Chain A
């Protein structure tokens, strides 16, 4: 969310939020003013009458996934996080803006040597994801893989575990004799063991947790540099969620991959994310280290999200949950003027109705797009 426009890529200094362990500029992926509008289907007559109104699903998102970090993308449904995921995964073309992927060291062994769309950006070689086509898309997909939300519908039921894991390998031209070893290795790693028992099973015979581990195995079998996980634990039972989170943490450590973890669940994000960005109605409203965002939220929307999380505390029986938010999320067809959160915000003043707040720096690595960021962060009541 910090103003990551083109020129900052050349001289990114303190403005860019950075984890202490990771030197600046070591970004793995960065979006610059990313937008995606959708247009509903309309009849000819209404098309002639007035110009189409866009659904502003993603409306100027600047986010940075740093090397080896897990970035949490937090927001409710219809906030646009799934669209961001699909844009970053290259499954959807943006309406505007850029997605820069830093390819890093590329093994020259494969056939994927020529990347016509990559450009020199300073001294960093970046891929413009939004312009990828042909072979370079294939290369990008081998580098950046996806873990889906629903482990019950994201596998072809006619494929065995072996078939599911073999498909990406054959698509990406891994020799047949190497495949078996890679498949067994990844099953071992994701603890679908004993391997021989799992190879010929069909997904419907696996439990939810096992299926999600198979989803992770499929995402990792090509040894990618980045994983995009879209709500990977929200369909799983509470008792086993942490197993999957632990596996993701372990793989990040072992493979030194970066990860985007999109979720509506702040408490799951808290457990594995290094940094969080909070999204509301197509825009990022807050960004910071996980502990900072959760302990001292600086945007009223984050405040409301935190207040809404149910905690298994018996004392909660006697309370009415104090929700510092009004009404319901508006449609992305009619984004409110000024700050898009103002109609629901207890802090909103005149300025908020007129002028959209930029990301305001409130601390090292902590930004909030709110005119009252400081007040919110200090816990001053509206």
Chain B
């Protein structure tokens, strides 16, 4: 399988109160066509910033200070902005968190879809763009009549479908979805989850899913990356990472999820994520880690490969203590 996207040693920096913070720090991964990666972690762990970096929309004064992002073999961080805009609009689409709430209330769904097409495909005729919009709506199981409606006439679930239709309209190679189900009701969440699953199967969609919801990750991802304080602390196949987490953070995070079955235990991670202005010495998770040893405070653990794809940044990952 071909690599459709590679991120190499990416570092995104923001100036904050006189110092520089690394919101994304030495992150590397690659993605094959048709597969999906779930990136998860607590709020502030850098998962949305990573998505924005791939799209080249890091708000100033933040910037990519290190690393490369290769899409279709080309480094999109190094090319001119017009060229990279083209690639990103065409090849990579992003569904922003809460995008369904920022549809323009003054325009019909059709107007807003046409705007997207015109911005990227100047030579498309009106009838062609109309077909494109209708086809896209069909992909998300909405009828063409929805095109003539205004956002306030649609339910939350329908708006989210419209947003997904817009992202799919230009037939992107990669779809990045930032919290595609948050702020929806549970049943609608499950319906949207099913839609994304269906799109993965029927269109062979390559998906990067950004979410704090470990249940959603399990539904939609082949690979999982767990972020903590700007870094990947564990990366691997869904089955190995969920089945036998090698990082205590992953283990504790999975245990913190409230479930409807199994033993009813209250489990949580004490403390809070570090302030990135002054991250702790050694392992960044050490102040919250119940398995901390002196080595964890002295030495920053590097991501280490186990087997063919499982990577972990923990000094004690092989001790089987959790």
B253 at the interface (CB under 8 A from A): yes
Q: Which of B157-190 contact A (CB under 8 A)?
A: 157-158, 185-190
List B contacts of A328 (CB < 8 A).
155, 157-158, 188
In the complex, A14 Cα to B219 Cα: how many Å? 44
Contact (Cβ within 8 A) A314 B238: yes
Partner of A311, one of B197, B212, B218: B218
List A contacts of B268 (CB < 8 A).
239-243, 246
Q: Which of B236-267 contact A (CB under 8 A)?
A: 238-239, 242-243, 252-254, 256-261, 264, 266-267
Can you list, as one digit per residue, whether each of A302-339 has a CB less than 8 Å from chain B (1) or not (0)?
00111111111110110111010100110000000000
Contact (Cβ within 8 A) B219 A238: no
B208 at the interface (CB under 8 A from A): no
A294 at the interface (CB under 8 A from B): yes
Q: Which of A242-288 contact B (CB under 8 A)?
A: 242-243, 245-246, 249, 264-268, 270-271
The count of chain A contact residues (Cβ–Cβ below 8 Å) is 44
Partner of A268, one of B155, B190, B222, B258: B258
Known: A306-B260, A312-B254. A237 touches B266 (CB 8 A): no
A11 at the interface (CB under 8 A from B): no
Contact (Cβ within 8 A) A320 B214: no
Tell me the nearest residue of chain B to A309, going by C-beta.
Answer: B260
Contact (Cβ within 8 A) A245 B155: no
Tell me the nearest residue of chain B to A313, going by C-beta.
Answer: B218
Partner of B260, one of A208, A241, A266, A320: A266
Contact (Cβ within 8 A) A305 B155: no
In the complex, A312 Cα to B251 Cα: how many Å? 12
In the complex, A304 Cα to B187 Cα: how many Å? 7
B221 at the interface (CB under 8 A from A): yes
In the complex, A239 Cα to B214 Cα: how many Å? 11
B82 at the interface (CB under 8 A from A): no
A207 at the interface (CB under 8 A from B): yes
List B contacts of A207 (CB < 8 A).
272
A76 at the interface (CB under 8 A from B): yes
Partner of B43, one of A237, A309, A321: A237
A209 at the interface (CB under 8 A from B): yes
Tell me the nearest residue of chain A to B243, going by C-beta.
Answer: A314
Tell me the nearest residue of chain A to B36, going by C-beta.
Answer: A317
Known: A238-B253, A238-B257, A270-B264. A310 touches B187 (CB 8 A): no
Contact (Cβ within 8 A) B215 A237: no
In the complex, A208 Cα to B259 Cα: how many Å? 22
Contact (Cβ within 8 A) A241 B219: no
Query: Chain B nearest CB: distance from A235 CB in Å?
Result: 10
Contact (Cβ within 8 A) A312 B217: yes
Interface residues of B (CB under 8 A from A): 42-43, 155, 157-158, 185-191, 193-194, 197-198, 212-222, 238-239, 242-243, 252-254, 256-261, 264, 266-270, 272
The 4 closest A-B pairs by CB, nearest first: A310-B215, A242-B268, A308-B190, A267-B258
Known pairs A237-B42, A239-B256, A310-B213. 9 more at Cβ < 8 A? A241-B268, A242-B258, A267-B257, A305-B187, A310-B219, A313-B218, A317-B220, A317-B222, A323-B190
Some 14 contacts from A to B, beta carbons below 8 A apart, are A77-B185, A238-B256, A239-B252, A241-B256, A241-B258, A242-B266, A243-B270, A309-B186, A309-B260, A310-B193, A312-B214, A312-B259, A313-B218, A316-B219
